[in-house]
Structure 1
Amino acid sequence: MQQHPFIIDAFVLLPDHLHCIWRLPQGDCNFSTRWRLIKSYFSRQCITLSQENLSTSRQNKKERGIWQRRFWEHLIRDEVDFKNHLEYIHYNPVKHGLVKAPQDWEYSSFHRSVRQGMYDITWGAGQEIVFDSDIGKE
Structure 2
Amino acid sequence: MESQLVVSSIWEDESLFEISIFGSNGQFSGQADCYTNREEIDLLGKLLEKFPRNTKDEFEFKSRSTPDLSYFSIHAFCIDNSGHTMFAVTIAHIESFTNVRNENYKVNFDMKVEPQAICNFGMQLQRLAVNPLGKTKAVLKNAL
**TM-score of the aligned structures, taking structure 1 as reference length:** 0.29
Give the number of the structure with larger relative contact order, counting CA–CA contacts within 8 Å between residues 6 or more apart.
Answer: 2
Larger radius of gyration: 1
**TM-score of the aligned structures, taking structure 2 as reference length:** 0.29
Higher share in helix: 1
